[in-house]
């Protein structure tokens, strides 16, 4: 097992098959890969108060990493081991972005958020425990470049899922040789759904390991948090994303775990909720309104003890 550090100067502005890999590792070797991430864009937003003057990439992703043994049709398993945070994060209101854009108005709002002893100082009187997570985690798509802002693609991207924290394994479908994994956009803490399109953004270092699952096919990202199994659905309109999420979870139960289909149907109706995921949409946004999501990201969940209890014996 080896340890590798990829620094923030090894970042790019897209998940791209044309981007040369900065590191090659072997699937399943246990190598620990640490991705350093950058928050320069938010510092420039504070400095300039004008998105047109921001030259830094929003959500740069460090990488990509070429995984030997990963081929199109495989699934890459990315296990998140640790996320180390900087001492200060950012809360930002970007004009026109997020569910509260109309209430926040046309001006930039930027607040520095100190992070001390595992707590984020949100206001002068209120702090909270940090819950580090990775916002951008994905592979290179075969037919396009993947945005680090939106949309979320079957190969991942700017998913903004609170579940993508230490202890979670993220499963992604491989579309190009070597998978080409990139990571960025660390958050100190984020409410599910990310109302403002910007959480408590922060620089940091995320450490992961990778493996390849042969003979498994998935339609989009899936996550094993240790306590829950989560399937990501993508679609426009939102009902399509709900259907994809439920169908993907049904496939995990029936096709992979050997559940009786009728048992799976009954149990999912009782114990498998859905919720909207991150705010990034599932198809390309209107170029005139690049921060307005089109389509939806939906998550279907089931507790791991339920998942394991119903498997065919």
Domain boundaries defined on the chain: 3-12+22-311
118-127 pLDDT per residue, tens: 999 999 999 9
204-217 pLDDT per residue, tens: 999 999 999 999 99
Query: How far, in Å, are 83, 231, 264 from residue 248 at the CA level?
Result: 28, 6, 12
87 CB-near residues (< 8 Å, 6+ apart): 114, 115, 116
| 195 band by pLDDT with thresholds 50, 70 and 90 | confident
| 68 band by pLDDT with thresholds 50, 70 and 90 | very high
Q: How far apart are CA 307 and CA 300, in angstroms?
A: 13
pLDDT tops 90 at residue 304: yes
15-56 pLDDT per residue, tens: 999 999 999 999 999 999 999 999 999 999 999 999 889 999
In eight-state DSSP terms, residue 304 is: H
- Cβ atoms 221, 287 nearer than 8 A: no
Q: How far apart are CA 91 and CA 111, in angstroms?
A: 5
**Joined tokens for residue 23:** 């590191």
Q: How far apart are CA 157 and CA 221, in angstroms?
A: 10
Place of tokens 């994905």: 138
In eight-state DSSP terms, residue 38 is: -
Give the pTM. Answer: 0.96
Q: What is the pLDDT of residue 312?
A: 60
The residue-averaged pLDDT of 154-161 equals 97
Q: Which of 182, 157, 171, 173 is nearest to 74 (CA)?
A: 173
Q: How far apart are CA 36 and CA 255, in angstroms?
A: 38
In eight-state DSSP terms, residue 10 is: G
Q: What is the pLDDT of residue 193?
A: 87
pLDDT tops 70 at residue 313: no
Q: Which of 276, 267, 277 is nearest to 302 (CA)?
A: 267
Give me the chain's average pLDDT, please.
95
Place of tokens 């938010």: 42
Q: What is the pLDDT of residue 290?
A: 85
Q: What dotted CATH number matches 3-12+22-311?
A: 2.60.120.580
- Cβ atoms 20, 182 nearer than 8 A: no
**Joined tokens for residue 172:** 């992604």
Decide: helix, strand or coil at residue 20. coil
């Amino acid at each position: 097992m080896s340890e590798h550090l990829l620094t923030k100067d090894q970042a790019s502005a897209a998940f791209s098959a044309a981007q040369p890999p900065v590191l090659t590792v072997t699937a399943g070797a246990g190598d620990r890969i640490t991705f350093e991430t950058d928050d320069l864009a938010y510092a420039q937003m504070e400095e300039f108060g004008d998105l047109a003057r921001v030259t830094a990439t929003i959500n740069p992703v460090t990488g990509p990493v070429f995984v030997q043994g990963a081929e199109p049709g495989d699934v890459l398993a990315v296990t998140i081991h640790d996320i180390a945070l900087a001492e200060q994060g950012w809360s930002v209101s970007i004009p026109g972005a997020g569910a509260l854009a109309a209430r926040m108005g046309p001006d930039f709002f930027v607040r520095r958020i100190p992070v001390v002893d595992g707590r984020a100082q949100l206001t002068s009187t209120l702090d909270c425990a940090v819950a580090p997570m990775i916002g951008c985690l994905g592979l290179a798509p075969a037919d396009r470049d993947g945005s680090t802002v939106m949309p979320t693609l079957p190969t991942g991207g700017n998913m903004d899922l609170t579940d993508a924290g230490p202890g979670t394994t993220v499963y992604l479908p491989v579309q190009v040789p070597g998978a080409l994994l990139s990571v960025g956009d660390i958050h100190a803490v984020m409410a599910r759904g990310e109302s403002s399109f910007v959480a408590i953004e922060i620089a940091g270092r995320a450490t992961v390991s990778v493996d390849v699952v042969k003979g498994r096919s998935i339609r989009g990202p899936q996550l094993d948090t240790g306590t829950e199994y989560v399937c990501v659905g993508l679609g426009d309109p939102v009902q399509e994303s709900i259907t994809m999420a439920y169908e993907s979870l049904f496939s995990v139960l029936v096709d992979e775990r050997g559940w009786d289909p009728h048992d799976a149907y009954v149990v999912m109706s009782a114990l498998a909720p859905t919720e909207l995921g991150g705010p990034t949409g599932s198809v390309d946004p209107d170029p005139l309104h690049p921060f307005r999501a089109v389509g939806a990201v939906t998550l279907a969940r089931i507790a791991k003890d339920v998942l394991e209890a119903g498997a065919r014996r």
